[in-house]
Structure 1
Amino acid sequence: MRRYQYILIIALSCLMMAACNKKIEELQANPNEPGSVTAELLLGAVLTDMSGTQDDGALEDYGSWGAVHRWNQYYCRNYEYYGDNQYGWSSGSFDSYIVLKNVVQMEKEAATRGADSINPYESIGKFVRAYYYYNMTSMMGDIPLDGAVQGTDNLTPAYASQKDVFTFVLNTLDTVNNHLTTLINAGDNTIDGSTQDIYYAGDLTKWRKLANTFKLRVLISLSNKTSDDELNVISQFATIINNPSTYPIFTSVDDDFKFTYVETYNVYPQSPNNFGSDAQRYNMANTYVHNLTDLNDARVFITCEPAWNIIATKGYSAVDYRSFVGASTGESIANMYSDAIAGNLSLINRKHYYDTYTGEPDVLVGYKEMCFNIAEAINRGWISGDAETWYNTGITESMKFYGITASQTSYTAYFLKFGSSLGDYTSYAFTFDLSTYLAQSSVKYAGADAGLEQILTQKYIAMFQNSGWEAYFNYRRTGVPVFDEGTGIGNNGVIPKRWGYPSSEQNLNAANWKAALSNQGFSSDDINGSMWLLK
């Protein structure tokens, strides 16, 4: 009898403990926090992350005036308190996998709420994967694929070869096109959570164009791999261009995949708030400036200010191309600062970039770049067509971005003198004829190797402060335009070819990290080593 009493007491105790635990769990739950997040809200978070607008020196800092655009040699920091111009790439970032984990969760939430296997969240999620994997592998080489987004189920993911990553990216983009085609043909042209789509307001036809246009970028980046029969780079590029109904691409800048700054939500980096603290701490880079001034290109009057001491000593006009001088990115920051405050260098155009809280949109994938990619493919003999027309269209659309059109010749530039307040600017009239610019021998498309260099140079100019890493990627792939080297960039004055892997990988994923280095022929995590893409 006593035995059964003990059993009864134990059973009652267990029930009481379970009840207490349940009560504790209920008390710990925050009624003001949702137990789950909808696919719609996750979409908004993922797409905002894609803007790359943070600036902490990580791989993803490719928004307007972010760290990447110093490495693209568009502008320089001349004041060490705010940073320098060194290519300190010994430890990269795998933060992109955090975004990709949110993509996985977004897809799960959509499925949980009854979405079909082919749905807008799944399709856009696949594009996001392709976008991030392309950027990460282009920066580092071999990287983990989906094994890295399994959370605690896989804390030590293996690395995939760079070729396999590119194959995955290309196949994924095809899947995105096919799935979006299925949805659009079924009359499902928009995303339910269209308010969270900060790029296309839920328009799936735009996303479909983006997938194919982005694929052209990926294929152009593989120009050194055209002999690889498994990749079929040339054939894949031609398939897109020759089948526009199956593979629609951008038809104007209205299709651009661009991030628009909003004053009350995401203020433009160079806003009036920052004018007093850092407006004189940025000067223009020689690589960008001289490629404009050598061509008598009026875009320099919009994006740059003249070097005022040059004007004073030489007697040049403020809208004379000789008045604009960029600093070599390889110059020491001490010399650069001295030259900047002495008025021997061009600062960024402070009136243009600090005047509003919204500034210019940041184009992540754009029509202008696509025009030059197609022109390059024609020049290389991948496809038939008129390279000059695509080349001229790319230039013309870039000029329009800065308010320069074929229909006018009279313009006004606005410059601040060193030490001036934001409102203390002076206007300068200048003339510029776009047709004359296109006809000059240095710009008119020459075909062959000279024509290819022209295409690459104009693409570099057009990607100023946009298109993420593409300016650097194109330089690394082609050598055009020539980037400045020197002590100011670190790395013994040599521009590196890749980022090193995150230092945490050496401790948390050492075996796979070492295998990735070995598989690429690296004896160490060498930022000067040539990845498969460059061989």
Structure 2
Amino acid sequence: MKSTITKYILGAALLANLCACEKTSLLQKDPAAVYDASPKLLLTGLLLNVGDKPWTSVQRHNQYATQNNSYYYGQPYDWSTADEGFSAYDRLRDINQLNMEVAKSPDNYKGYPELGKFLAAYFMVRNTEMYGDVPMTDAIKGRSEGNFTPKYDDQKEVYRTVLQMLEDVNTALTPLVTANVKVDGDFYYKGDLAKWQKLVNSFRLRVLVSLSKRADDNADLKIKEQFATIVGNPAKYPLILSNADNFQLLFNANARDNNYPLWPADGVVIKNDLNNNLAATIVDILKRTEDPRLFVMALPTDSAKKSGDAGYATKFTSFRGGDVGMIMADLKSMASAGKFSQLNYDFWEATPSGGPCIQLGAAEVNFSIAEAINLGWISGDAGAYYVAGIKANMAFYNVAGAAQDAFLANPGNVYAGNTAAGLTQILEQKYVAFFQNSGRQAFYNNRRTGIPKFSIGPANKNAQKIPVRWKYPTVEYTVNETNIRAAIQKQYNGSDSQNDVMWLIK
């Protein structure tokens, strides 16, 4: 009997010990951590980091706006590295996690690997177009292989890989679109993979156009051929050619932290802001071409309003932008004197949700195709795509059809043919369409083409130059010094400045 009791006591003790160990391990887990994240939540997290908002310092670098208050940064072009650093690799880690979660139940998460692969290409392009050569082949191998010092890949190879990734994604999406597969967690397209497929191919056109300076001396990349293949086969490679398919960021009137960026915290709209004006770079284009979008974007100057001219509000001469290169104190003085146009807050702040911020839209795609035709990459009617691009963007501003037709009938706005003058028209209209949209694309297109001509003046603190890149994140010199120094030596002869010219734009 005693032996039996002893066995029960020992068994109970062992069970209690096991339970205690289990409880301890559970207690050691972080209750705020997510150990088995849902793919749809991971996708939502990725998409939260895709969009570029309007009215940021980026838009001043695009020469769309001026900042006239010395308390703020202004637009001196004296940047070094970017605030975002190498945050693209954070997103790539998230994509890795997404793929691991999907692998647990692939039949339940169709479409997620394809979107993950597209987003990986998207973030890799964002990285390389800012800095030049970047880690790719060895990137994100710290967890899997213990490689925390990845080598830098040549920019050309990054683009080669990205273009192949985009081809693969389009191919993989086709049967999913046919089967009407939907994904959850997508607040851009509500899980519609048909729209995502259009975005994938439209983004590929953006990448190919960005490589225009390398199209003739890098035949192995087949830049022109890829472009022609995509545009020539719309059944296989659908594109964003309508505003209904725009990849755009929508703001929310019901959530203060997601209101339109110009919407004031207290909800009181003040329609008088001397600190911010449109820049002359865009205003002068709109005035010269007599563009009705100007009447929507901005207001006539106070000087024009006080001129005594009863028709001042409908005259293009009543508008004026600030010169980005001007000393800030002088900009402030002129703004205070009513010599600059202010924003038309009735349009930009009509509601707390404002308007959408297009990340990649129909106007851009039409202009890219028009440019390719102008350059002789493909055959077609560049003028038709030029007109379609203008109309798509004018629709964004609710410009009436009659006003659109009048603009296009203006002899100065009729497409000048596949000439240098025609190319300038396409690129200027693309610049106008990028206003407060598409992040740094206006800057990158200017960097590539020189159109429109950016203002440089006494406010420029970069030796009277517009920068062409960002310095590598300083942390790389601490955690990956050997590889980063090898990369800058190979690319820039040891320099790492905002004025070094990367392979993409040489």
**Is the structural similarity TM-score above 0.5?**
yes
1:280 positional shift: 3.6
Shift of 1:31: 5.3
1:486 and 1:494 in contact (8 A); partners too:
no
Match of 1:422?
A: none
Q: Deviations for 1:138-177, whole angstroms, at most 9, x for unmatched residues?
A: 1111111153333453322211111011111111100110
Partner of 2:347: 352
Cα distance change on mapping 1:90 and 1:151 into 2, 3 Å: same
Report the AA paired with residue 91 of structure 1.
T
Tell me, yes or no, if structure 1 residue 172 matches structure 2 residue 165: yes
**Which residue of 2 is the match for residue 319 of structure 1?**
314
- 1:25 and 2:25 matched: yes
Report deviation, 1:312: 2.6
Corresponding residue of 1:121: 112
Q: Residues 441, 285 of structure 1: CA spacing in aligned structure 2 closer, same or farther, 3 A cutoff? A: same
Distance in 2 separating the partners of 1:456 and 1:403: 22
Displacement after TM superposition at 1:520 (Å): 0.8
Match of 1:454 among 422, 425, 429: 425
Structure-2 residue corresponding to 1:56: none
Does structure 1 retain, via aligned residues, the 8 Å contact 2:69–2:328? yes
Alpha-carbon contact 2:328-2:459 (below 8 Å) kept: yes
Distance 1:135 1:397 in 2: 25
Match in the other structure for 2:263: 271
Amino acid in structure 1 at the alignment position of 2:112: Y
- Secondary structure of the residue aligned to 2:27 is helix
CA deviations over 1:40-75 (Å, ceiling 9, x no partner) = 1111111121123xxxxxxxxxx1112211111111
Contact kept in structure 2, 1:70 and 1:76, CA below 8 Å: yes
Against the structure 1 CA distance between its residues 124 and 334, is the aligned structure 2 distance closer, same or farther, given a 3 Å change threshold?
A: same
Partner Cα separation in structure 2 for residue 277 and residue 247 of structure 1: 45
Spell out the pairing of 1:31-42 with structure 2 (5 A cutoff). 34-42=34-42
Q: Deviations over 1:66-117 (max 9, x none)?
A: 221111111121113233213233113111211221111111111123448x
Post-superposition Cα deviations, 1:310-337, rounded to whole Å, max 9, x if no partner, equal 4435847123111111111111222111
C-alpha displacement of 1:405: 2.5
Alignment of 1:365 onto 2:355 = no
1:34 positional shift: 4.3
**Amino acid paired to 1:294:** R
Structure 1 residue 181 corresponds to structure 2 residue 174: yes
Q: Which amino acid in 1 is paired with 2:265?
A: N
Q: 2:182 aligns with which of 179, 190, 193?
A: 190
CA distance in 2, matches of 1:127, 1:403: 32
CA deviation vs aligned residue, 1:440-468 (integer Å, no higher than 9, x gap): 22210001110000000011111111012
1:6 maps to: none
The one-letter code matched in structure 2 to 1:391 is Y
Q: Are residue 281 (structure 1) and residue 275 (structure 2) matched?
A: yes
Unaligned 5+ residue runs, structure 1?
A: 1-12, 53-62, 409-432
Q: What corresponds to 2:329 in structure 1?
A: 334
Distance in 1 (CA, whole Å) between partners of 2:69 and 2:360 is 31
Q: CA deviation at 1:492?
A: 2.1
**2:66 partner SS:** strand
1:260 and 1:303 map into 2 onto residues whose CA distance is: 19
1:48/1:198 contact within 8 Å kept = no
Q: TM-score w.r.t. structure 1 length?
A: 0.86
1:189–1:205 Cα contact (<8 Å) kept: no
SS at the partner of 1:258?
strand
Deviations for 1:100-139, whole angstroms, at most 9, x for unmatched residues?
21111111111123448x9311100111111111122111
Match of 2:46 in 1: 46
For the residues of structure 1 that align with 2:112 and 2:272, how far apart are their CA atoms? 40
1:202 to 191, 212, 221: 191
Say whether the 8 Å CA contact 2:137–2:153 is kept in structure 1.
Answer: no
Q: 2:208 aligns with which of 194, 216, 219?
A: 219
User: Which letter does structure 1 place at the counterpart of 2:159?
Assistant: F
- Partners of 1:324 and 1:158 in 2: how far apart? 51
Cα deviation for residue 32 of structure 1 reads: 6.7
CA distance in 2, matches of 1:184, 1:473: 32
Query: What are structure 2's unaligned runs of at least 5 residues?
Result: 1-12
Judge conservation of contact 1:486–1:492 (CA < 8 Å) in 2: no
Match of 1:299 in 2: 293
- Map 1:355-504 to 2 at 5 A: 355-406=350-401, 408=402, 433-447=403-417, 448-504=419-475
**Match of residue 260 from structure 1:** 250
Is the partner of 2:235 in helix, strand or coil? coil
Tell me which of 57, 71, 94 is aligned to 1:102: 94
| Counterpart in the other structure of 1:81 | 71
Within 5 A, what are the aligned runs for 1:66-77? 66-77=56-67
Instruction: Output the CA distance in 2 between the equivalents of 1:295 and 1:483.
Output: 18
Q: Answer yes or no: is the 8 Å Cα contact 1:271–1:355 preserved in 2.
A: no
- Give the TM-score normalised by structure 2: 0.90
Q: Distance in 2 between matches of 1:219 and 1:314?
A: 52
Look up the equivalent residue of 1:289 and give its one-letter code.
V
Deviations 1:464-483 (A, max 9, x none): 11012111111111111001
- 1: CA distance between counterparts of 2:297 and 2:80? 32
Q: Is contact 2:241–2:363 with CA below 8 Å preserved after alignment?
A: no
Does the 8 Å CA contact 1:279/1:350 hold for their aligned counterparts? no
SS, match of residue 492 in structure 1: coil
- Residue 358 of structure 2 aligns to a residue whose secondary structure is strand
Percent of pairs identical after alignment?
39
Task: Give the residue type in structure 1 aligned to 2:127.
Answer: M
CA distance in 2, matches of 1:268, 1:260: 8
Letter in 1 for 2:479: L
Letter in 2 for 1:170: L
2:5 is aligned to none
Asked if the contact 1:396/1:405 (under 8 Å) is kept, the reply is no
1:230 alignment partner, SS class: helix
Aligned: 1:232 with 2:225: no
1:532 aligns with 2:494: no
8 Å CA contact retained: 2:274, 2:332: no
Q: Deviations over 1:474-524 (max 9, x none)?
A: 111111100111232421231101111111111221111111111213331
Rounded to whole Å, the distance in 1 between the matches of 2:80 and 2:21 is 49
Which residue does 2:231 correspond to in 1? 241
Say if 1:209 and 1:494 are closer, same or farther in 2 by CA, change over 3 A: same
> Structure 2: how far apart are the matches of 1:213 and 1:102?
24
Match of 1:419 in 2: none
Q: Is the 8 A contact 1:76 1:282 kept in 2?
A: yes
1:15 is displaced (CA, Å) by: 11
Is this contact kept in 2: 1:101–1:150, CA < 8 A?
Answer: no
1:33 Cα offset (Å): 5.4
Match of 1:519 among 490, 497, 502: 490
Q: In 1, Cα distance between the equivalents of 2:272 and 2:440?
A: 24
* Root mean square deviation, CA, Å: 2.3
